[in-house]
Chain A
Amino acid sequence: MNRLTEFLLKIGKVDRRWIFIVLAVVVFIPIIKPIGMPIRATVTTKVVYDTIENLPPNSNVLVSIEYSPSTKPENHPMAISILRHLFKNDHKVFVTCLWPDGQFMAQDALKQVAEEEYGKIYGEDYVLLGFRPGGEAVIKGIVSNIRKLYTVDVNQTKIDEIPMMEGIYKFSDFAFLFTASAGFPGTVEWVQYASDPTGVPMSSGVTSIQVNEVMPYVQAGQMKGLLAGMPGAAEYEALIGQKGSATSGMDAQSIAHLVIVLFIILGNAAFFIERQRSRKY
């Protein structure tokens, strides 16, 4: 028992750089040698899938990209999977960006999915309207008159000259909104200024750190489901049957979590032993 106590006390005093190295190793190994842990869709992910699945054919869907390369591992697989699902079901996809870097993330995703995988035609099947600065003011602009805010698309083509923009004047002309979001402005603002006031259904894929903030909207029925971080993206990949980078990252994610939990337990044990000893003496 004494040996164990001493060991725990030693662990509690270990240089944090050793912990970084251990974490790096446990993340690195499963990426090189995947285990293939099973992925099961949670309710919130399933709701997003069902909502898109139940959209009438040829629906106008607005996809808003609000993330940058810094959260690409979490958000990009979501955007790719959602685009795959939308194009597979032959919906019209309109893409806007509230983040400047989002424009390039959107270009990357559209090139991969719309052009290379599904051979969709720009201007007829999908359009990239691009980035506009202003945060919630941009959302308000899209809600009231999208043509006032976007007179040209990302290629500087006039909106009136894009065939699929015919009949699109305001947010309520869309059947559904999906946002891939990493912070402000993002999902919360879309709920507050677009979906709630107009009643247009929306779903979102967010970074893990945002889940707690956004989940109340899902529970209250203000949003149709949620893709929560990399696990949410992996679950969606499983639902559409096309594995991607999120699925391959889930082994490393799960093992890293186990190691972190272990460190938390050991750290707490060391803390309580030390506190007990200091009380004694």
Chain B
Amino acid sequence: MSTTIILGAWIAVFLTLGIFSYLYKDNPFYKTAEHLFVGISAGYWTSLFFWTQIQPNLFGRLWPSSNYSSDSFWYMIYNGLGFFYSPGFPNGGVDKGHEIHNVVLGVPNVHYLIPFALGIMMLLSLIPKISWFARWGIAYTVGMAAGLRAYGFLNSNVIGQIKGTAASFSDPNLPFWSLTSPSIFNSIVILVGTITGLLYFYFSKEHKGVLGKISKVGIYFLMISFGASFGFAVMGRISLLIGRFVDLIKYSGSEYFNATLWILVAMIIILGYDAFKNRDKILPVSKDVA
């Protein structure tokens, strides 16, 4: 087995046990693992976003190789950028197979300057004096997302759900009782649950009398829903725990030089020594653990 794989296993074990050590209490192993995770994630994502979208889809459209001309002012800017960072701006333009829809003043696909400008505006948030520029980019993103979602939710979550769950009670083929397939009973449960659940969130009238009773039924429906969510959440967390345990067991083998055992023992000794040294300062366990 290569040294890289073995080293990777030791790092994986250290980070996993470092995160788990938080269940005992906050400690430097946990902090190291946490900070590494945040830092590496940010760097990794930035790099991936650049190489999967900005370079091929933005620069590839603004400076396509098919329109390259070393005399053009636009490509002179490109060559200047290439002088500083040639992997992102290779010689002769970016060749990612993009079509040229328009050329205005020597700039191909000129409309792509708008997302380019908005992206730069977002980065300007790093400079306090002109950080307000970032609002333009954020406004565009929020506006676009709101528009897209309004359509998506209306179509699938409102109309689609009503269409899918509405049942004709006069349909002779629809059975009265079935829990696993469409039935009159299921349709009644959905109808009652939806109406009572919605009425629970109706705050324009005090929840007394009939409205109080109906909204109480709504609470029961909500509680059942939250209970199911909690159950699934527990199941998910246990699955992830199983995944980590499987890896820890794998890395405890002799081919990985018993990485799990060594790191576990080292952590227990260090944390135990720390607890012994600071036995007079032991604080009660924080309630937000778990």
Chain A residues with a Cβ under 8 A of chain B: 15-17, 20, 23-24, 27-28, 31-32, 43, 70-74, 100, 103, 130-134, 136-137, 140, 149, 151-152, 156, 158-160, 189, 191-193, 196-197, 207-212, 216-217, 219-222, 228-231, 245, 248-249, 252-253, 256-257, 260
Contacts and interface: CB of A to CB of B under 8 A. Distances in A.
A100 B246 CA distance: 24
A191 B44 CA distance: 29
Contacts of A228: 232
Contact of B239 (A191, A208, A221): A208
A51 B24 CA distance: 47
Report, as a range, how many residues of chain B touch the other chain: 35 or more
B148 A140 contact: yes
Interface in B142-176: 144-145, 148-149, 152-153, 155-157, 160-161, 163-165
Interface string B30-58: 00000000000000110011001100110
Pick the 8 closest A-B CB pairs, nearest first.
A220-B164, A73-B243, A192-B152, A208-B236, A230-B239, A208-B235, A151-B97, A158-B97
Main secondary structure of the interface of A (DSSP, over half): helix
Contacts of B77: none
A46 to B, nearest CB: 11
Given A73-B246, A196-B160, 14 more contacts: A17-B23, A70-B240, A71-B240, A73-B244, A100-B49, A132-B52, A132-B57, A134-B53, A158-B96, A196-B155, A212-B228, A212-B232, A219-B165, A220-B161
Contacts of A230: 235, 239, 242
Given A152-B97, A208-B233, A130 B243 contact: no
B285 interface: yes
Contacts of B241: 23-24, 27, 256
B289 interface: yes
Interface in B220-279: 225, 228-229, 232-236, 238-246, 249
A193 B148 contact: yes
Nearest to B164: A220
A149 B229 CA distance: 36
Given A16-B285, A100-B48, A152 B239 contact: no
A207 B152 contact: no
Contact of B242 (A31, A43, A140, A222): A31
Interface in B104-149: 144-145, 148-149
Contacts of A222: 156, 160-161, 164
Contacts, number: 151
A73 B247 CA distance: 10
B60 interface: yes
A31 B245 CA distance: 8
B44 A209 contact: no
29 contacts: A17-B24, A24-B245, A27-B242, A27-B245, A31-B242, A31-B246, A43-B180, A71-B236, A72-B243, A74-B239, A74-B243, A100-B49, A130-B52, A151-B57, A159-B97, A192-B153, A196-B155, A209-B232, A209-B236, A211-B232, A212-B229, A220-B160, A220-B163, A220-B164, A248-B246, A252-B245, A253-B242, A257-B234, A257-B235
Nearest to A43: B180
Interface in B178-217: 180
B285 A257 contact: no
A25 to B, nearest CB: 11
Contact of B97 (A24, A27, A160): A160
Given A151-B57, A209-B236, A221 B164 contact: yes
Contacts of B145: 136
A248 B148 CA distance: 41
B52 A133 contact: yes
A9 to B, nearest CB: 19
